[in-house]
Structures are given as structure tokens and as C-alpha cells.
């Protein structure tokens, strides 16, 4: 007689449980870095360079020191005396903390003032006199490698020009052969513009050095607190056990809060020097102009095709503009992130990728913005290229994809670049999408509308994405292996606290991790409190990015719960006075196999762990699991958009968008849908309106919300989501795959493909994002491709 609990009722796997964190967020009771005030706290502001490239002739801080309420003025020269003027980046480069010799991008940190309040500090920044000698400016890779180009990184002895790396992966000879055999060769070139994660909360930190205890506590906006602790220990040469990093509530990260920024370092040094807490909170333009840029790559590819539509091979070349410092957070084996995940969803015999990275006079870029290390660029190019190739062959978009997909029976599938795809049902996802958009009917309407001069278009984007950075054999950041952890303590009354090495920034870990515990142990989710982000209490982990939390930390949550269950089983056997082999488990309860009525609940086992354990058993019911995943997880998505383009104005409207996401088992379907809708909104923004670029002088266009547009509910189209395709991840303990970035990665190509489909027959192959009305209008009117690469043309 089964007494198993109803999993959905206890908030287990598959329950659309309301987010527990929202009860504080929607009441305005969140605890963000800027909400924290410590006794005696001072405030720091940063002086930034107005110029993109200039030699610093002198910095006069005397007037700033004279302002009442100013406690400290930091310059690069002072930082240098402590060996802190430069810091290492996550890609084995160096980055200026405060400029000493030159400024290398507009918005670069030049000096800091620490004062009684932020207003005094800001005024004092303005009182600092910096004498700059302007230098020629580089804003794109073409200029970077031009003859006679100024060397941006003349601080590095080994650096002759502006090239950071030349890198390649894949099979060159095999790919060349594929091209020799091709009936048709299809080509495409485009620029994926710089974009910015732009979380609502800017970056910030409060450093609190206590001389009496020698302990440094830093509250800060970081997605990876343990990595920061290691970085502070190594850079500032402080003992690691005397450093405590606390990431409180984070108002959105989206990748912006992975890197180490100069502001963090300066606030730490200031607190050490002044022996008082020092708070730095970035302002919006500081955030937009200097932190966490993504993309900015030029992609140039070609596809070898057989007449019947079979893809024989692909070549891709990327030119990446990294800005003044190469600071990408990415696995150290790869120079251009996981760009070589491009075309993974398609069964392609041969592929070759070359990549060149260059410096420019722009803020350090290459941070992943809602993308697992350059996957966004890879999938965007893939889906634009696939559309172009189908068009060149005169083939149907959907049929071309279906013909080339990796088939269900071919998993695990090795891509030509070496990734191992775990599982998927690609054709099924596509079919669900085509049905939902009513594909044949739309094509008929489109042809009808054409006759009357109306431009309708349909864009498809289908992709699989590598999510969940680990396994430790292949993935590391600065040599630190990528795994993650969970620590579960079950108290005697059966309530529990769970901590992981991940760090939620809005994804809802406090809700979903408890659901995994509920699924594994039958402890109701509401009885499990989840805590992340404090290095003094959380087990070591690599943090949250690359949608790695569910694939790695989430797996650790399942594994630690299973360890707890194993001990609880021994306690149950003791309580039931039978041997362990005679004990069976059902959700929340152990029972005697031969007498199912005789059982004990997990809560009774918890009580026994503290009050009635068998002789020789270690008391308590706690454990920790470190999880090193065997592979990445490979979710699949099919996004289809229909649009109407106004030929008079170039304005385009979304008629309908459908999204079919297969992320394996969904822990919390409502949260997954929220992740998809948020990602599609960002995808729409990138395709339609977001514009961070640079004029010829290196002035950043888009350092404010008048120029860099965030879509509101008013602009954002409706999305129709489909969840019927579920391919459990074969190597994840609960079958889940990551989802946090899929829609932002796969979405943009669907919009762009739709607009270009509306323009089919005009000869226009490409319009660079964002597809602003004037660009679309120009393409329609002059029947030519439109590039958005900097310098922006208005300043040509
Ligand atoms: N989930 C689930 N079932 C699955 C997969 C995920 O229920 N099969 C749930 C997870 O438990 C988690 C959420 O969905 O609550 C996202 O999970 P996952 O895909 O593991 O991604 P992460 O938690 O690692 O989040 C990182 C990802 C990244 S890298 C960016 S960038 C991004 C994103 O999440 N930044 C975000 N989504 C964001 N959402 C918000 N609100 N704020 C951000 O800063
Ligand atoms: Cu890639 S942006 Mo997220 O990985 O934090």
C-alpha cells in the first residue's frame, strides 16, 4: 500500500512553484549591494577618461585633496607602488586598474576619490586635472591591422602590433576537399555588433578591511564569488582564508557581473589604506561605457553544398574586436570561446574555423552576454548562413534544415569540431514550430501579399547550444577546473538548508534547488531554505554563467540529496529493526518490503540522526557533493517568427513568434518559461534596437538609455511557447539541461531571417543588427547590403 507523496504538492520536479525570492523582491525588501550600509562607511567615485586613446602627461589631484570630506585620491601611480596599477585578466592578459601611461578607451578608469558621501567624491573627481595628449584611435579590426596603425598595448614588451591571437580549430584539409566536391558554394559576411547586458542594477562593491582581525569582507555584485576570492588572494596577496566575498541579492547579471572590474580593486585597496568600509556603486553610464561588452565580431563564412541540399563542409573566419584589454571570461583552451560550437545541430562532415583577435580603443569586450562563451555569435552566424544557403539552392528553409539535422538515432554525435552532443529530437521540435506558425498557410499568404506590394517574411532559427561549463578535463578558468558543489544540512525536525557554489542573479535558484531536494528526499520544498553567494558558508564553486547552474550545481544538489538518502536508509533500517536490504524507498518514506505499512518518514529519520542513531554511526544528517559533469548539456530550440516590413519606412512588425524549447526535464516549468520569455525579449532588442557603437574618434554611442534602448512591455511582441518536446539529458542525474541563455542565443537570427525573407528576391544578403528602420529602408531602396560596423557612418 503506497503512501508516496504527491510530488507536485510538495513542490518537487515539474511543479510550477511560485518563486520564493519574489516575496522579498516585490515588497521592496531585497538586499542589494547598494542597500548595505556599514558603520563609518565612505564612498568612492571613479574619474573616467573622456578620450579613447591618449598619453597621460600629468595628473594633478591637489584640488581634489583640498575638498572637505575627501579622504583619499587614488591614481595609477599610487596603485603602482603597491603593484596594483595593472591586474591579470581571465584570458591571461593584463588590464589597467587605473591608467598610468595612457588611456586606451573612452570611459577608462583614471583616478578614484573616496569621500564622506558620493556627491563630494563626484565633485572631487571633477577637480582632478588630467593633461592628455590625444593619439590616433582604432575602432575596428581593419584599422587595428592596417599598416602604420598605432600600437595600443605598448605597455607589453612582446606586443609589436595589435593582433592578440591567430587561432584555428577543425580539419583544414578535409574541409578543403569538401569544397572541391561542392556543387554550390554559399557565402555570407556579417558583423555581430557590440551589445551590453545592461542589468538594472549596476556593478558595485563595499570593501571592509578590519585591521584588528585582519579580515577583508567584500559585499559585491559578482556571479562567481569564489573565483573573486581566489583573484583577490592572488592579486592583492592577501591570505585566502582572511577574505570573505558576499554576493547579496543581484539585480540581474546576464554576464555583466562575471569579470573583475577596476572599481572592485580600488575599493578594496582604499579600505585597506583607510581601515574603513568603502562603497563603490557604478552609475548607469559608467556601467554602459566601461563594463562587460559582448560580441563585436566579424564573421565570414562559406558553405560547401551538394545540389540536393546536403551540407558537405563549412569554413568560418572570425575577426574579434576585444577592445583595449583581452579580458574574456572563457575556458583557457579556447581563444574565441565556444565559437566552434557553430553548426553543431547539423550533421556536417568537415569544418574549419580560423579566428583572429585584435585590440582596439574600446572598453574590454568579449564578455559573454547571456551566452555560453561566444555561442550567441556562433548560432547567429549558423542560422543566417543556413538561410542564405537554402536560398542559394532555391530550397525550402525548413526542408533544408530537416535534411541536414543530426538525427535522433545518431546521438551521441561528435561534431567536426570535436564536441559530443548528448541527445535531442531536432526534427520533432521543428515540426511543432512549423505547425504552430502554420507554415504552409503563411507561405501562401506571403505570396499573395507580395502581389499587392506587401512584404511579409518568415524566419526560422534552430540550434543546439553547449550549456553547463564543466567537465574538468576540458574546461577551466585560469587553470581552476570547472565543477560545482552543493552542501545540504537536514536539521532534526526535517527542515533543511542547502548551499551551492552557484550564485543566482534572478534565475530563481532559491526556488528550483529546493524542488530538486523535494524530488530526491520528499522533504517539501518549502522546508528547504537555499543560500548562495557567501564564500564563508557556501561550498567552493565556479559561480553562475554559461547556464551552468542546473547542469552542474543542480546536479550536485541531486547527488548530495542522494548521499543524505543513503544515510537516512541506514537510520530507517535501525528504526524499523530490519536490515538495510529489506528497506524500500518511496517519495518521502522508507518502508519494509514485506510489510509496506511499516515505514518511517524522512523526517523521522532526520530526528533519529540526532537522537537515536545506531551504535557506531556518526551523528547528524549533513553532506556535501562536488559534481564534475561528464559533458556539457545540449538543449535544442526552434524559434520561428513572422514579420511584415513596411517598404516606405523600413519599419518591421512581428506578426507572430513561436518558440519550441527542449531543455530536457523541466524542474520548474514556470521559471523555464520566464527564462525563455526574457531571452526572447533580449533577442528582439538585439535584432531591433540595441546599438552600442563608436564614432571615428572612439566616442561610445550608446552609453545612455536614450541611445541604448531596452524594450519595454509596449514594444515587445507576444511569444507563444511550446514545451511538448522533452529529451532528458542522458548524463544529468535528473535529466535536466540548461535553459538560461537559449532564447537570447537562438532568438536574434529568427528575427533577422524573417526580415531578410521579406526582402527575398531583392538581392540583399545581409543587414547588420540592429535592423533599424533606416537600415532596412536603405537595403530595400538601394538593393544593397547594409553594414553596421564602426565607425558609425554618421561620423564618417
Ligand atoms: N531550470 C529548470 N529546468 C531546467 C533548466 C533550468 O527549472 N531544465 C531553471 C533553473 O533551476 C534556474 C533557471 O531555470 O532556476 C535557469 O537555469 P540554468 O539554465 O541552469 O541557468 P543558470 O541558473 O546557470 O543561470 C545563468 C543564465 C545566464 S548564464 C545568464 S547570462 C542569464 C540567465 O541565466 N542571466 C539572467 N537568465 C537570467 N535571468 C535573470 N532573471 N537574471 C539574469 O541575470
Ligand atoms: Cu554568458 S552571460 Mo551568462 O554566462 O552569465
271-326 pLDDT tens trace: 999 999 999 999 999 999 999 899 999 999 999 999 999 999 999 999 999 999 99
Query: In whole angstroms, what separates CA 545 from the centre of its chain?
Result: 5
Q: Beta strand pairing status for 243-246 and 215-220?
A: parallel
Whether residue 140 contacts residue 323, with contact meaning beta carbons closer than 8 Å, is answered with no
Q: Decide whether any atom of ligand 2 lies within 6 Å of the 368 Cβ.
A: yes
Query: In whole angstroms, what separates CA 729 from the centre of its chain?
Result: 21
Question: Of 1-10, 232-241, 458-467, which gets the smallest average pLDDT?
Answer: 1-10
Residue 425, SS3 per DSSP: coil
Q: How far apart are CA 247 and CA 245, in angstroms?
A: 7
Q: How far apart are CA 365 and CA 380, in angstroms?
A: 18
Q: Decide whether any atom of ligand 1 lies within 6 Å of the 15 Cβ.
A: no
Nine cell digits for residue 78: 599610487
Residue 405, SS3 per DSSP: strand
How does pLDDT run across 334-348, given as a tens digit for each residue?
999 999 999 999 999
Q: How far apart are CA 670 and CA 14, in angstroms?
A: 9
Q: How far apart are CA 696 and CA 212, in angstroms?
A: 52
Of the listed ligands, the closest to the CA of 329 is 2
548 is catalytic: no
Whole-number pLDDT of residue 247: 98
663 is catalytic: no
How does pLDDT run across 165-204, given as a tens digit for each residue?
999 999 999 999 999 999 999 999 999 999 999 999 999 9
598 is catalytic: no
DSSP E strands, 161-203: 163-170, 184-195
User: 740: CA distance to ligand 1 center in Å?
Assistant: 4
Q: Which residue's CA is the nearest one to ligand 1's atom 17?
A: 740
Closest atom, ligand 2, to C-alpha of 740: 3
Q: How far apart are CA 497 and CA 512, in angstroms?
A: 14
What is the pLDDT confidence band of residue 556, given thresholds at 50, 70 and 90?
Answer: very high
Of the listed ligands, the closest to the CA of 292 is 2
Q: How far apart are CA 326 and CA 319, in angstroms?
A: 14
Q: How far apart are CA 511 and CA 12, in angstroms?
A: 10
Closest atom, ligand 1, to C-alpha of 546: 29
How does pLDDT run across 471-488, given as a tens digit for each residue?
999 999 888 999 999 999
Which strands make up the sheet holding 109-115, listed edge to edge? 70-75, 109-115, 42-48, 278-281, 204-210, 215-220, 243-246
User: 255: CA distance to ligand 2 center in Å?
Assistant: 4
Q: 356: which DSSP letter? A: E
pLDDT at 1 over 60: no
User: 273: CA distance to ligand 2 center in Å?
Assistant: 34
Nine cell digits for residue 127: 577637480
Cβ neighbours for 796, distance < 8 A, ≥ 6 positions apart? 696
Q: How far apart are CA 460 and CA 659, in angstroms?
A: 10
pTM summary value = 0.97
Backbone angles phi, psi at 683, to 5 degrees: -60, -45
Q: How far apart are CA 401 and CA 427, in angstroms?
A: 9
Q: Decide whether any atom of ligand 1 lies within 6 Å of the 507 Cβ.
A: yes
Q: How far apart are CA 628 and CA 542, in angstroms?
A: 11
Which of 95, 108, 223, 397 is labelled catalytic?
223
Which of 48, 194, 370, 565 is labelled catalytic?
370
Q: Decide whether any atom of ligand 2 lies within 6 Å of the 545 Cβ.
A: yes
Of the listed ligands, the closest to the CA of 367 is 2
Q: Beta strand pairing status for 109-115 and 700-701?
A: unpaired
Whole-number pLDDT of residue 795: 45
Q: Decide whether any atom of ligand 1 lies within 6 Å of the 515 Cβ.
A: no
Residue 112, SS3 per DSSP: strand
pLDDT at 794 over 60: no
Q: How far apart are CA 406 and CA 634, in angstroms?
A: 12
Alpha helices by DSSP H, listed for 45-160, are: 62-66, 76-81, 118-126, 141-145
Of the listed ligands, the closest to the CA of 376 is 2
Whole-number pLDDT of residue 234: 87
What is the pLDDT confidence band of residue 796, given thresholds at 50, 70 and 90?
Answer: very low
Q: Decide whether any atom of ligand 2 lies within 6 Å of the 253 Cβ.
A: yes
Q: Decide whether any atom of ligand 1 lies within 6 Å of the 552 Cβ.
A: no
Q: How far apart are CA 411 and CA 664, in angstroms?
A: 15
Q: Decide whether any atom of ligand 2 lies within 6 Å of the 258 Cβ.
A: yes
125 is catalytic: no
**Residue among 16, 547, 737 whose CB has most ligand 1 atoms within 8 A, to mutate:** 547
Q: Decide whether any atom of ligand 2 lies within 6 Å of the 371 Cβ.
A: yes
Whole-number pLDDT of residue 793: 65
Amino acid at each position: 500500500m503506497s503512501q508516496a507523496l504527491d510530488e507536485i504538492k510538495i513542490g518537487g520536479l515539474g511543479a510550477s512553484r511560485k518563486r520564493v525570492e519574489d516575496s522579498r523582491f516585490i515588497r521592496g525588501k531585497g538586499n542589494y549591494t547598494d542597500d548595505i550600509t556599514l558603520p563609518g562607511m565612505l564612498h568612492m567615485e571613479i574619474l573616467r577618461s573622456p578620450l579613447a586613446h591618449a598619453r597621460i602627461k600629468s595628473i594633478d589631484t591637489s584640488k581634489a585633496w583640498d575638498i572637505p570630506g575627501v579622504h583619499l585620491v587614488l591614481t595609477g601611480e599610487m596603485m603602482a607602488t603597491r603593484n596594483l596599477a595593472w591586474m591579470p585578466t581571465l584570458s591571461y592578459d593584463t588590464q589597467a586598474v587605473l591608467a598610468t601611461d595612457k588611456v586606451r578607451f573612452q570611459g577608462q578608469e583614471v583616478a578614484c576619490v573616496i569621500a564622506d558621501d558620493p556627491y563630494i567624491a563626484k565633485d572631487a573627481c571633477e577637480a582632478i586635472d588630467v593633461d592628455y595628449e590625444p593619439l590616433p584611435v582604432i575602432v575596428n579590426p581593419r584599422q587595428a591591422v592596417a599598416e602604420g596603425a598605432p600600437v595600443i598595448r605598448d605597455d607589453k614588451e612582446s606586443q609589436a602590433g595589435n593582433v592578440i591571437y591567430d587561432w584555428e580549430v577543425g580539419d583544414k584539409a578535409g574541409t578543403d576537399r569538401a569544397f572541391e566536391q561542392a556543387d554550390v558554394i554559399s557565402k555570407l559576411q556579417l558583423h555581430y555588433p557590440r551589445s551590453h547586458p545592461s542589468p538594472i542594477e549596476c556593478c558595485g562593491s563595499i570593501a571592509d578591511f578590519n585591521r584588528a582581525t585582519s579580515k577583508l569582507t567584500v559585499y559585491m555584485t559578482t556571479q562567481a564569488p569564489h573565483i573573486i576570492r581566489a583573484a583577490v588572494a592572488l592579486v592583492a596577496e592577501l591570505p585566502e582564508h582572511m577574505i570573505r566575498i558576499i554576493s547579496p541579492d543581484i539585480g540581474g547579471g546576464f554576464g555583466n557581473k562575471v569579470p573583475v572590474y577596476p572599481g572592485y580593486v580600488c575599493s578594496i585597496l582604499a579600505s585597506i589604506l583607510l581601515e574603513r568600509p568603502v562603497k563603490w556603486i557604478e552609475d548607469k553610464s559608467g556601467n554602459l561605457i566601461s563594463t562587460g561588452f559582448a560580441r563585436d565580431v566579424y564573421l565570414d563564412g562559406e558553405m560547401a553544398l551538394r545540389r540536393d541540399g546536403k551540407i558537405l563542409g563549412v569554413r568560418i573566419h572570425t575577426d574579434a574586436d576585444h577592445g583595449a584589454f583581452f579580458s574574456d571570461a572563457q575556458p583557457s583552451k579556447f581563444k574565441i570561446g565556444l565559437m566552434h560550437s557553430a553548426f553543431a545541430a547539423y550533421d556536417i562532415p568537415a569544418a574549419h574555423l580560423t579566428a583572429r583577435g585584435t585590440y582596439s580603443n574600446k572598453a574590454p569586450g568579449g564578455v559573454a552576454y547571456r551566452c555560453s562563451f561566444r555561442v550567441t555569435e556562433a548560432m547567429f552566424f549558423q542560422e543566417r548562413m543556413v538561410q542564405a544557403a537554402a536560398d542559394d539552392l532555391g530550397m525550402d528553409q525548413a526542408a533544408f534544415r530537416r535534411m541536414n539535422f543530426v538525427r535522433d538515432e545518431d546521438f551521441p554525435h561528435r561534431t567536426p569540431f570535436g564536441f559530443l552532443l548528448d541527445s535531442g529530437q531536432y526534427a520533432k521540435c521543428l515540426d511543432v514550430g512549423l505547425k504552430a506558425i502554420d507554415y504552409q498557410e503563411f507561405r501562401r499568404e506571403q505570396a499573395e501579399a507580395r502581389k499587392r506590394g506587401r512584404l511579409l517574411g518568415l524566419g526560422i532559427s534552430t540550434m543546439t547550444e553547449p550549456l553547463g561549463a564543466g567537465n574538468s578535463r576540458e574546461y577551466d578558468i585560469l587553470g581552476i577546473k570547472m565543477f560545482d558543489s552543493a552542501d545540504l544540512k537536514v536539521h532534526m525536525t526535517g527542515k533543511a538548508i542547502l548551499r551551492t557554489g552557484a550564485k543566482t542573479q534572478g534565475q530563481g535558484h532559491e526556488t528550483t534547488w529546493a524542488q530538486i531536494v523535494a524530488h530526491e528526499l520528499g522533504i517539501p520544498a518549502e522546508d528547504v531554505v537555499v543560500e548562495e553567494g557567501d564564500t564563508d558558508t557556501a561550498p567552493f564553486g565556479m559561480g553562475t554563467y554559461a547556464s551552468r547552474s542546473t547542469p552542474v550545481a543542480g546536479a550536485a544538489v541531486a547527488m548530495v540529496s542522494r548521499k543524505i538518502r543513503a544515510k537516512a536508509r541506514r537510520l530507517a533500517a535501525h528504526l524499523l529493526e530490519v536490515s538495510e536490504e529489506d528497506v524500500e524507498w518511496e517519495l518521502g518514506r522508507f518502508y519494509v518490503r514485506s510489510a509496506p505499512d511499516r515505514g518511517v518518514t524522512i523526517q523521522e529519520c532526520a530526528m533519529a540522526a540526532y537522537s537515536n542513531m545506531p551504535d557506531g554511526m556518526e551523528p547528524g544528517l549533513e553532506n556535501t557533493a562536488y559534481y564534475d559533469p561528464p559533458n556539457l548539456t545540449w538543449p535544442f530550440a526552434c524559434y520561428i517568427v513572422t514579420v511584415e516590413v513596411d517598404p516606405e519606412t523600413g519599419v518591421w512588425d512581428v506578426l507572430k513568434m513561436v518558440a519550441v524549447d527542449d531543455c530536457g526535464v523541466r524542474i520548474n516549468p514556470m521559471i523555464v518559461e520566464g527564462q525563455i520569455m526574457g531571452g526572447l525579449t533580449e533577442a528582439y532588442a538585439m535584432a531591433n534596437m540595441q546599438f552600442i557603437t563608436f564614432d571615428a574618434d572612439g566616442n561610445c554611442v550608446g552609453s545612455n538609455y536614450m541611445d541604448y534602448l531596452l524594450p519595454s512591455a509596449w514594444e515587445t511582441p507576444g511569444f507563444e511557447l511550446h514545451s511538448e518536446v522533452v529529451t532528458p539529458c542522458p548524463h544529468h542525474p535528473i535529466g535536466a539541461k540548461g535553459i538560461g541563455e537559449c532564447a537570447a542565443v537562438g532568438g536574434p537570427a529568427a528575427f533577422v531571417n524573417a526580415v531578410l525573407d521579406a526582402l527575398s528576391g531583392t538581392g540583399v544578403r545581409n543587414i547588420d543588427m540592429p535592423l533599424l528602420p533606416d537600415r532596412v529602408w536603405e537595403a530595400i531602396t538601394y538593393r544593397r547590403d547594409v553594414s553596421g560596423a564602426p565607425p558609425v557612418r554618421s561620423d564618417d
